[in-house]
Structure 1
Amino acid sequence: MLQQFYPQVPHSYRYELNKDMNLSAAHFIPDEKAGVCKNMHGHTYFINVTIAGDQLDELGFLIDFKQIKDLVHKRYDHTLLNDHNEYKEIFPTTERVAEQIWKTIHEKLQSLPHQPKCLQVLVRETPTSYVVYRPKPEELL
């Protein structure tokens, strides 16, 4: 999907899974300082999620790729990001979108007995602009 190299996270886990996906969504940043971004507009977001771990589940997965897609794509595709509860008190900037995707995935991973970790979320807003969210090590616990 991204069809290019993206930043790698150094780690010592045995397994690393990367899931690429894209979705279409609109947003706006309701502040004059946001310039033209204060107007509603849309993007085709390209997203990469990096998950790693030392243990696999009983089927041999860190997590099924479809579960990751369901957590992100089903939630945001063809929506107005500003309408989501997680953006009621913060603006849906690309930085915040990457952070919220990480939080959603992290919550799911914590419920799994083998405890894989989401190490990075990359959100590309345009062909020339992207954000990488990496949690602090203590957030992975």
Structure 2
Amino acid sequence: MMQQIYPQVVHPYQFELNKDFHFAAAHYVPAEAAGKCRQVHGHTYFVNITVAGDDLDDTGFLVNFSLLKKLVHDRFDHTLLNDDSEQFDDTVPSRFPTTEVVAKTVAELVQQQLDTQPNRPRCVQVFLRETPTSYVVYRPKAGSL
């Protein structure tokens, strides 16, 4: 994977961890205004997850890199995102699997897991690239996750 510089998020924490990986998934956006995106099509999504915190766990990690990949890659790789009814809904626009909603969903899934960690790190940013020329940055507002 080619190294890339991502937008910086300002936070008050001592440690910042970033994990890059990709997953292949299909989706469609069930809205008339979505044009061609109303049809089922696929992407190789590239994601960067930024986690921050002040305290390390018992292994000296803020969070284990492999945990982040497992949470997202294992769930979404080689799937039709629309079929994940826990996260997406074809009848609720705020839950259509658009790049924006997928980025927010990744942040929420990661934070749910981080909330179980004794050192309580925070997911402060998700960068999700859908195509070589299109990406979304999602940053949870303080207290929103």
Consecutive unaligned residues of structure 1, counting only runs of 5 or more, are none
1:118 alignment counterpart: 123
Q: CA RMSD in A?
A: 1.1
Matches within 5 A, 1:40-79: 40-79=40-79
Structure with bigger helix share is 1
1:137 alignment counterpart: 142
Q: CA deviation at 1:114?
A: 0.7
Are the aligned partners of 1:50 and 1:118 in contact in 2 as well (CA < 8 Å)? Answer: yes
Are the aligned partners of 1:27 and 1:40 in contact in 2 as well (CA < 8 Å)? Answer: yes
Consecutive unaligned residues of structure 2, counting only runs of 5 or more, are none
Are the aligned partners of 1:2 and 1:46 in contact in 2 as well (CA < 8 Å)? Answer: no
SS at match of 2:130: strand
Q: CA deviation at 1:30?
A: 1.4
Question: Which residue identity does 1:87 align to in structure 2?
Answer: F
Of all paired residues, the percent bearing the same amino acid is 56
1:56-89: CA deviation from partner (whole Å, max 9, x where unpaired): 0000011111100110000000000000021124
Question: Which residue identity does 2:88 align to in structure 1?
Answer: Y
Aligned residues: 140
Question: Which residue identity does 1:36 align to in structure 2?
Answer: K
Q: Work out the CA distance in 1 between the residues paired with 2:118 and 2:2.
A: 31
Q: Work out the CA distance in 2 between the residues paired with 1:33 and 1:5.
A: 32
Q: CA deviation at 1:9?
A: 0.6
TM-score, length-scaled by structure 2: 0.93
- 1:87 paired with 2:74, answer no
1:17-73: CA deviation from partner (whole Å, max 9, x where unpaired): 000000100000112210000000000000000001000000001111110011000
1:107 alignment counterpart: 112
Q: Work out the CA distance in 1 between the residues paired with 2:73 and 2:60.
A: 24
Q: Work out the CA distance in 2 between the residues paired with 1:2 and 1:120.
A: 20
Q: Work out the CA distance in 1 between the residues paired with 2:30 and 2:119.
A: 41
